[in-house]
Amino acid sequence: MARILITSAIPYINGIKHLGNLVGSQLPADLFARFNRAMGHEVMFICATDEHGTPAELAAAKAGKPVDVYCAEMHEVQKDLAAGFRLSFDHFGRSSSQRNHRLTQHFAGKLAENGLIEEVSEKQVFSIDDNRFLPDRYITGTCPNCGYEAARGDQCENCTKQLDPTDLINPRSSISGSTNLEVRETKHLYLRQRSLRDKLEAWIDSKHDWPILTTSIAKKWLNDGDGLQDRGITRDLHWGIPVKKGDQPWPGMEGKVFYVWFDAPIEYIAATAEWADANGKADADWERWWRTDMGAADVTYYQFMGKDNVPFHTLSFPATILGSGEPWKMVDYLKSFNYLNYDGGQFSTSQGRGVFMDQALSILPADYWRWWLLSHAPESSDSEFTWENFQTSVNKDLADVLGNLVSRVTKFAVSKFGNDVPAGGHFGPLETALIADLGARITDYTRLMEQMEVRKAAAELRAIWVIGNEYLQAAAPWSVVKTDPEQAQAIIRLALNLIRVYAVLSAPFIPDASATMLQAMGTDDQSWPHDISAAMRALPAGHAFTVPENLFRKITDEERSDWQARFSGVRT
């Protein structure tokens, strides 16, 4: 039994995420976690909400709520939506937790001890009316490049040009709208990442099995002139983790907090400690996942994220870990994803364009979305969600191939032989051939799942469903029962066992349908079919079963057109 640690990029707190966010990290991580549990491995699957930084304060102000109240409420919203999509986290934490406060301050203190923190004086915009320094996103004004009047201090959303706050024409505070601004000097702490370049490069070069997307992004940031730079790890904000060296004050840093990019990945560790707290466990129970001197040396650690998060997880977070000089577990495999686009354009949180997680669950159950998103995961390149493709995939893959097989077999079995697995007949050449084909395909499917080849694994699973339908067509129990009822019983006995096998194999992709299939087969046996011959006899003659409700319904053309129109514009 292996020990598998899995983290998915933690979603930002400011609002409900769209399907592109979901398929870029949390959903494939859940697929991998479910698969490894089914294989009998010990799994720790961790995620959290990322709650600090400028967008959290702005979102709270827009909602008219204190930022801590807003974050607490949105954490519950995101936690509930994760449960709705059947994301099987062992713990879904919060980066604002006291565990993360202490760990972030601990890492900062260790980095300082090792000479990797530098105080830097820099100029920043100060709002006299607000009596505070304004980070980039707290400043809006007219873009000097395109004239857009609501450009932010870091980037113009209209023309995408990167900006500094001092570039803006007629700058104003995003908090109060005040134009009473001036440039003042302030001090911040910088992590001296460049001094860790050789260690980071050696570590990245040791990862020969990483996806090309991950390695290419990491090396680009490492080697480009503007890539690996010393980075500020503090901000002049009110909401965040106070700047301390461990539990000691940091002279000159009073009133400042750690920058969100610094504390957010540390929350992976902190959330595991939160899991221990929530379950009445000792520190040793979470440290065995994260400290190599406490047992984590035999852990294999996998991270899942969109490609925009790769630089932070291949350079900045590793710099924190390496720079601490402590025996923390570092990632072994980083699975990164390209972008999922939406119906001829892009998903947009700010414009509300596309399908968001709450909207998706309001129109169809989780399995419909899980299947389409995973079977179209943007691995080697960007992929695109279209309503036509979604409708076709649901109707053909789920309803026609899998759902139809389960319905046909169970209804026919009950009508001809009652609610117990029939005992007559023996497996013949067709059954023997199917079992052999299944064994080979399950071996391939298992290998693809182990390798995190998400789309290929989905295609192989669908092929496994298809050969069951092809067997039924060839065996034709509805005809055989008229001439050889004993052989028809053998066909149905195999087909009912096939449904249980399909339930087990399909559970990582479509867990609700899997549970329904297992319940209908009257079993909780979820053992992986390593021995397919034995698996196809797991439900013995006389075992009771029922006809499940329709697993999947088809999407009508009218529904598709309605949804396409409904989700094309601004979310209200």
Integer Cα distance of 115 and 375 in angstroms? 47
Residue 155, strand partner residues: 162
Does 159 appear as a known binding residue? Answer: yes
Contact in structure between 384 and 342 (CB atoms under 8 Å): yes
- Distance separating alpha carbons of residues 394 and 411, to the nearest angstrom: 22
Tokens of 66: 């204190």
**Residue 207 near residue 147, CB atoms below 8 Å:** no
User: Taking a C-beta distance cutoff of 8 angstroms, is the pair 236, 135 a contact?
Assistant: yes
Question: Quick check: helix, strand or coil at residue 385?
Answer: strand
- CA–CA dist 202, 215 (Å, integer): 13
3-state secondary structure of 301: strand
Q: How far is CA 284 from the centre of its chain?
A: 27
349 assigned ligand-binding residue: yes
Describe the strand order of the beta sheet including 333-337 as a list of residue ranges.
91-94, 42-49, 3-8, 299-306, 333-337
Beta bridge partners of 306: 337
d(CA 172, CA 163): 15
DSSP one-letter code for 313: I
Pair 23, 298: CB distance under 8 Å? no
Distances (CA, A) of 411 to 419, 492, 496, 549: 10, 11, 11, 11
| Residue tagged 């650690």 (tokens) | 301
71 in a labelled binding site? no
146 is in an annotated binding site: yes
Q: How far is CA 58 from CA 1, 71, 193, 326, 555, in A?
A: 46, 12, 29, 36, 39
Length of the chain: 572
Query: CB under 8 Å to 90, separation ≥6 — which residues?
Result: 43, 44, 45, 46, 275
Cα 550 to its chain centre, rounded Å, is 29
Q: Which residues pair with 384 in a beta bridge?
A: 341
Which three-class secondary structure state does DSSP give residue 418?
coil
Q: What values do phi and psi take at 534, rounded to 5?
A: -70, -40
Q: Which residues are annotated as a binding site?
A: 143, 146, 156, 159, 349
Q: Which residues are annotated as a binding site for ATP?
A: 349
Q: Which residues are annotated as a binding site for Zn(2+)?
A: 143, 146, 156, 159
